Chains A and B, each alone.
Chain A
Amino acid sequence: MTSIPLPIFVAIPLVMAFLLPVFGKKGKSVATLLANLATVSLLALAVASIGQSGVYEIGKWSIPLGINLVLDGLSSLLLLAISVVSTAAMLFSARYMEQYTAKSKYLSLFMLMVAGMNGVVLSGDIFNLFVFLEIASIASYALVGFGCEHEELEASFKYMVMGSIGSIFVLFAVALVYGNTGSLNMAYISKAIQSSGLNAGLAFALALFITGFGLKAALVPFHAWLPDAHPSAPAPISAMLSGVLIKALGVYALARVVFNVFGISISIGWLLIVLGILSMVAGAFLAIGQWDFKRLLAYSSISQLGYVILGIGLGGLIIARGGNLAWASLAILGGLFHLINHAVYKSLLFLTSGSIEMSTGTRQMKQMGGLAEKMPVTRATCTVASASIVGIPPFSGFWSKLILVIAAIQAGFYWIAATIVFVSLCTLIMYLKVQRYVFLGELPENLQQTKENKNSMLVAMVFLACLCVLMGLLLVPSLRSHILDPAVKVLTDGLEYSANIIKITSM
C-alpha cells in the first residue's frame, strides 16, 4: 500500500491552474516561478512513487460504489515520463513564451493539461478516464492554436474536430460497456466480461475503443491531424504533445483497456501489429521528403509510435497464442522502454527546434545552414538526440530497438524484424538530412547575427540530453526490476488486474 495520497498528482496542477490567472500581466515572473515549482514537486513525487503500488478510494466510498485511483507499475512508469518532460518543457517555456502575450493563461492551460494526463494515468474507473482524457484534450486544443496566426488556427481546428470525434467514440464505447456489464469500475467490468464472454455489444465497444484511442494516439489511418498540429504549436507544447500526450492518452489507455479490461485475443494482437507496421512505414516514408523541420519531426513521431504499438501487439499475440511467456515479456519490455525513450528524445528534438526557431526565425531547412559554430550547445544536444533516435550504440534508443528485434526473431516473425531494421535505416536518412541542412553547410547571409540562446533554455535541453545518455542504464538488472519490470508485469498479467484490485480493496 502506498503512503502518498494519490489525488495529489492531480490536485497540485489543478490548484496551480486556477491560481495562475490571478497574476495577470504584472506578476508574470512570480507566476512562472510558481509553475516551475509545481512541476519540480511533481517530479519529486513521481520519483518517490517508483516501486510502490496501491489503490486509493476517494471519499472513503468502497468500490464498486465509489471512484478509485490505482497506482501500479505501468502508471508509475508513465507518471515518471510525464513529470520529466513537463519539467523540462516548463523550464524551457520560461524564456521562450516571452514572445507571446497572455503568458499566465498559457501557464494555467499547461497545468490543466498535466493534471488531465496524470488523471488518465492514475484512474481506475472508466468514466473517470474519459473525463480526464477530455480535460487534457481540450487544454491541448487551446494550446495548439495559442499564437492565433493563420496556420495555427487552421491546425487547431483540424486537431479539434478529429480529437472531438475520437472522444465521442470513447464515450459511446463507455456507454455500451455500462449497458452490458452494469458497472463502471475497471476491475468489476473485467470480472463481468470474464464470466460472460464477449457479446455483440461488447465487441462493438472494443472496436470503438480502439478507434477512439487510435485517433488520440495518431495511428496510421487516423493520423491526419498530427503533421499539422505539432509544427504549429509553440515549441514546448510540441514537446509535450509529441512526447507524452499521444502516449498517455493514446497508447496507455489502449493498453489498459485491451489488456486489463477486455483481455487480449489473437485477432486484436494481429490488429495491433498491423497498425504498428503501417504507422512505422508510412511515417518514415512521409518524413523523408519534408523540408519543414518540425513537420519532419512530427512524421517521425508517427513512425516511432508504430514501434511501441508493434512491441505491445507482438507481446499480446504471443500471450494469446499461449506461447513462451519470456518472449512476450521481452516484446512488451521493448515496446514500453521505447515509449519512455521516445518521450525523452523527441521532446528534446522539439525543444532544439524551438531554440533554432527563436534564434533564426524560420523553420524551413532550406533557409538554414552552418549553425554549428553559432549555436554549439543546441548543436550538441540535437546530435545526441538524433543519434539516440536512430539507434547508435551507447545511447538509449539502440537498446530498445535491439530488444524489439530480438523478441521478433525469437518469436519466429522474421519479416517483422526485417521491417524494424529497414525503418531504422529510413530514420537514419531523415536525421542525416536534418544534420546536413541545419548545422553543416554554409551560413546564409541573413543569419550571420544569430547567437546562442539564454541559459534557462539551455539547462532544460542539457538535462534531457543527459537523460538520453543515462537511460540506457535502465536495463541494468537492479534498476530494471524497480522501474520497467513492474510495468511489463501489469500487461502480461492481463486479466489478473481485476482480481488484484478486488483483493486489495476488500482487505
Chain B
Amino acid sequence: MKGMTIIVKTISSWVKVLIFLFGIYIILFGHLTPGGGFAGGVILASSYVLLMLAFGREFVEENLPLPVASKLDCLGAFLFALIAILGLVIGGSFFVNFLYQKYLPGEALSLISAGTIPLSNIAIGLKVGASLFMVVLVLSIFRPGVSGNEKE
C-alpha cells in the first residue's frame, strides 16, 4: 500500500504527534473528565492509522511490527488483571480500590486521586490502542487471491 503526496506526508507527521499526545491526555485524566481508557486507546490507535494512510503500510510495519503490538496487547491485559488480583491480595476482595484507602489519598479532583482507577485506565488504553492497531494492520494485508495468516 503506497503513501500519498508530499504535502500529506509532511502535515501528517506533525499532526500525528499531537493526536498521540491528546490520546495520552484523555487516558490520564479519565477519572476527571469524560473519556477514560477506551476512548483514549481508540485515539492512540487512530494516530497510527493516520500514519498508515499517509506513508503506506510497510513503513508503519517496520516502525511497530505485528508481534510487538501483540505483546503490548497482552501486557496491557496483564496489568489490568494484576490490579484486580492485587485488590484481592491487599484489600480482601477483587477489584477493591486499595490505593485509595491506604497509600495515595490525594485531594479530590486532582490528577493523583481516586486510587487504582487511573492505573486501570492506563492498562486499558494500552490494550485497546494495540488491539485496534493490530486489527487495522491485519485487515490491510488482505488482497483478493492472497491468503494471509490468521484473523484478528
Binding site for B on A (CB under 8 A): 5, 7, 11, 14-15, 18-19, 21-22, 24, 56-60, 101-102, 105, 142, 148
Contacts and interface: CB of A to CB of B under 8 A. Distances in A.
B151 A142 contact: yes
A59 B95 contact: yes
B132 interface: no
B94 A21 contact: no
Given A59-B94, A59-B97, A142 B152 contact: yes
B81 interface: yes
Interface stretch (B23-31, B54-62, B66-74): B66-74
24 contacts: A7-B94, A11-B81, A11-B84, A11-B94, A14-B81, A15-B78, A15-B81, A18-B77, A18-B81, A19-B74, A21-B74, A22-B71, A22-B74, A56-B93, A56-B94, A57-B93, A58-B93, A58-B94, A58-B95, A59-B95, A59-B97, A60-B96, A105-B150, A148-B150
A24 B67 CA distance: 9
A56 B71 CA distance: 33
B93 A59 contact: yes
B87 interface: yes
Given A59-B87, A59-B95, 18 more contacts: A5-B93, A7-B84, A14-B81, A18-B78, A19-B74, A19-B78, A22-B71, A56-B94, A58-B95, A59-B93, A59-B94, A59-B96, A59-B97, A60-B91, A60-B92, A60-B96, A148-B147, A148-B150
A13 to B, nearest CB: 11
Nearest to B151: A142
Contacts of B93: 5, 56-60
A4 to B, nearest CB: 12
B39 interface: no
A5 B95 CA distance: 12
Contacts of B92: 60
Contacts of B151: 142, 148
B85 interface: yes
Contacts of B84: 7, 11
B5 interface: no
Nearest to A105: B150
Nearest to A57: B93
B19 to A, nearest CB: 27
Contacts of B67: 24
A7 B91 CA distance: 15
A18 B95 CA distance: 18
A18 B150 contact: no
A57 B74 CA distance: 27
A60 B94 CA distance: 8
Contacts of B96: 59-60
A102 B81 contact: no
Contacts of A21: 70, 74
B33 interface: no
A7 B152 CA distance: 27
Given A11-B85, A14-B81, A102 B74 contact: no
Contacts of B70: 21
B88 A5 contact: yes
Contacts of A105: 150
A148 B78 CA distance: 29
A382 to B, nearest CB: 32
Q: Quick one: which of A11, A60, A142, A148 has the most chain B CB within 10 A?
A: A60
Nearest to B81: A15
A477 to B, nearest CB: 37
Report, nearest first, the 9 A-B pairs whose CB atoms are least far apart: A18-B77, A59-B95, A7-B94, A102-B150, A60-B93, A18-B74, A15-B81, A58-B94, A59-B96
Contacts of A148: 147, 150-151
B63 interface: no
B46 to A, nearest CB: 22
Nearest to A22: B74
Interface in B132-152: 147, 149-152
Nearest to B150: A102
Contacts of A142: 151-152
B130 to A, nearest CB: 12
A478 B147 CA distance: 58
Contacts of A18: 74, 77-78, 81
A486 to B, nearest CB: 25
A222 to B, nearest CB: 26
A309 B9 CA distance: 62
A290 to B, nearest CB: 30
B135 to A, nearest CB: 13
A5 B94 contact: yes
Contacts of A14: 81
Contacts of B94: 5, 7, 11, 56, 58-59
